[in-house]
């Protein structure tokens, strides 16, 4: 491989001595590449966020629910959130015990609620009516309730999940109704939870939102846990030196609140957080290959095989992902000198989907890219594969894992054309 633009992955030894061009050749592109060492270190960062002793990190699996990934998270001593029966299913497969799975559901059917009850996981309901449904299905059981403290935060309107305008959680105004239903069905409220939104880069809104949650908690004297939610951000603009979340500051501010509350509450109640992105985003680089470069009117387009069916965040949330360039040795480049390679140019990197919104990076300053180059999309481990689709009848990519000793293993096979049609039923014409 010729290093063209590899600053970020070099700085963290992301490929552990493997050549991304060779990985792309061996496994094909697009390809999600996960680094085990980085994943483990992100788990440990949050496990040690506070000194408060009764503290649990629930990894929120909707960010990345690869089986091998979940097995690693489990081996780090984390528990998990689930948002659907499918997540419960794969989490059990990864070895999580039912009581290590926190099912945070939203507008679910009776069948789905029953599934969670039968699987014996901890259930959190999201409205007074869903609490009533839970009570009917499982009188006498333990249950948790998600509240909406009235404060939200996040990087985009679509990921703010609390506050006055969102669909989530129970408005604290309805606490009397919650108490009534708990009594009616002899339910035991074991916990309350919230999740104010995704991707905060300073802990202020998070710490502030805890106050309202603790006020709610104080109205229920017999809780086992308080779940403060996820949303811990990561720096997506690493090339520009964006700083990571200051966990030390956040941890200290949290610690103060947790100890204070425990003192008032009269027991060392369990506190949980439920981060998804922080644990998973930085552990993955998504590799793709450049197949066509062209000028269209005033713009230069770099066309690659990473369409929004593979990584939808840029198209859906206008998200920024850093892009690196790795070049196969044999790439023909008569015109290339050290100087031209150092010249950056403004390009728009696009995928292979028939939609004009299929844009991975708009007007991005990058060193000159050539056909055949391998691109590395940074921080692709959260809401990457899990939000991928078969749009345009394209195959979902493979995933590989770089072990701590540098070995590479396949953790998900690339789909095959037969997978696309396996559930179709032809007419008998």
Could you say which of 277, 364, 370, 394 contacts ligand PLP (CB under 6 A)? 277
CB 126 within 8 A of CB 105: yes
Q: Give the pairing type, strands 284-296 and 31-35.
A: antiparallel
In angstroms, give the least distance from the CB of 198 to ligand PLP. Answer: 3
Q: Which of 42, 74, 155, 195 binds ligand PLP (CB under 6 A)?
A: 195
β-bridge mates for residue 376, sequence order: 287, 324
Closest CB 172 distance from ligand PLP, rounded Å: 17
Of these, 29, 35, 65, 198, which contacts ligand PLP (CB under 6 A)? 198
Size of the site for ligand PLP (CB under 6 A): 18
Q: Burial level of 11, CB count in 10 A (0-12/13-18/19+)? A: exposed
CB of 321 closer than 8 Å to CB of 377: yes
**Alpha carbon separation from 2 to 33, 51, 326, 330 (Å, rounded):** 19, 45, 6, 9
Residues 48-67 binding ligand PLP (CB under 6 A) are 60, 62-63
User: Of the two residues 144 and 347, which places its CB atom closer to ligand PLP in the complex?
Assistant: 144
Cα distance from N-terminal residue to C-terminal residue, the chain: 54
Assess 276 for contact with ligand PLP (CB under 6 A): yes
What mask of x and - would describe binding to ligand PLP in positions 78 to 97, judged by CB under 6 A?
---x----------------
CB of 128 to ligand PLP, least distance (A): 18
| Shortest distance, position 384 Cβ to ligand PLP, whole Å | 12
| 43 flagged as catalytic | no
**Calpha distance 338→90 (Å, rounded):** 49
**Using CB under 6 A as the criterion, what x/- string covers residues 348-377 for binding ligand PLP?**
------------------------------
Question: CB neighbours of 141 closer than 8 A, spacing ≥ 6?
Answer: 117, 134, 187, 188
By rule CB under 6 A, what string of x and - marks binding of each residue 370-409 to ligand PLP?
A: ------------x---------------------------
Q: Give the DSSP letter string of 131-187.
A: HHHHHHHSTT-EEEEEB--S----SSGGGB-SSTTSS-SB-GGGHHHHHHHHHHTT-
> Which among 65-73, 269-277, 290-298, 314-322 is the span making contact with ligand PLP, rule CB under 6 A?
269-277
- State the nearest-atom distance from the C-beta of 136 to ligand PLP, in Å: 24
Chain residue whose CB lies nearest ligand PLP: 276
- Angle between helix axes 204-217 and 247-265 (nearest 10 degrees) is 10
Residues 38 and 371: beta-carbon distance below 8 Å:
no
State the residues that interact with ligand PLP by CB under 6 A: 60, 62-63, 81, 104, 195, 198-199, 229-232, 274-278, 382
Q: Which residues are catalytic?
A: 354
């Amino acid at each position: 491989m010729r290093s063209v633009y590899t600053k970020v992955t070099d700085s963290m030894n992301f490929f552990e001595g493997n050549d991304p061009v060779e990985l792309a050749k061996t496994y094909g592109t697009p390809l999600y590449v996960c680094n085990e060492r980085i994943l483990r270190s992100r788990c440990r960062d949050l496990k040690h966020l506070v000194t408060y002793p009764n503290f649990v990190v629930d990894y929120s699996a909707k960010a990345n629910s690869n089986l091998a990934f979940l097995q690693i998270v489990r081996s780090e001593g984390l528990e998990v959130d689930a948002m659907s029966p499918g997540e419960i299913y794969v989490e059990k497969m990864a070895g999580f015990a039912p009581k290590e799975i926190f099912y945070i559901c939203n507008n679910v059917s009776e069948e789905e609620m029953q599934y969670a009850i039968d699987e014996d996981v901890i259930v959190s309901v999201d409205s007074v009516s869903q609490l009533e449904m839970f009570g009917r299905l499982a009188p006498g059981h333990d249950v948790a309730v998600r509240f909406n403290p009235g404060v939200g935060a996040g990087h985009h309107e679509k990921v703010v999940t609390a506050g006055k305008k969102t669909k989530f959680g129970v408005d604290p105004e309805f606490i009397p109704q919650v108490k009534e239903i708990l009594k009616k069905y002899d339910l035991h409220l074991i916990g309350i939870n919230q999740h104010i939104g995704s991707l905060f880069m300073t802990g202020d809104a998070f710490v502030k939102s805890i106050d309202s949650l603790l006020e709610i908690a104080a109205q229920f004297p017999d809780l086992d846990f308080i779940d403060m939610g996820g949303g811990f951000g990561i720096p997506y603009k690493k090339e520009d030196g964006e700083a990571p979340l200051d966990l030390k500051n956040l941890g200290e501010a949290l610690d103060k609140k947790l100890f204070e509350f425990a003192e008032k509450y009269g027991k060392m109640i369990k506190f949980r957080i439920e981060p998804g992105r922080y644990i998973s985003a930085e552990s993955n680089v998504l590799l793709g290959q450049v197949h066509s470069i062209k000028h269209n009117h005033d713009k230069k387009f770099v066309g690659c095989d990473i369409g929004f069916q593979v990584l939808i965040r840029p198209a859906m949330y206008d998200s920024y992902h850093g892009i690196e360039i790795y070049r196969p040795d044999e790439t023909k480049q008569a015109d290339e000198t050290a100087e031209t390679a150092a010249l950056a140019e403004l390009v728009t990197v696009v995928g292979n989907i028939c939609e004009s919104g299929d844009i991975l990076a708009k007007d991005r300053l990058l060193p000159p890219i050539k056909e055949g180059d391998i691109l590395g999309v940074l921080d692709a481990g959260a809401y990457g594969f899990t939000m991928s689709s078969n749009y345009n009848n394209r195959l979902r990519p493979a995933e590989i894992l770089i072990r701590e000793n540098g070995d590479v293993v396949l953790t998900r096979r690339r789909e095959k054309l037969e997978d696309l049609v396996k559930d179709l039923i032809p007419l008998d014409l």
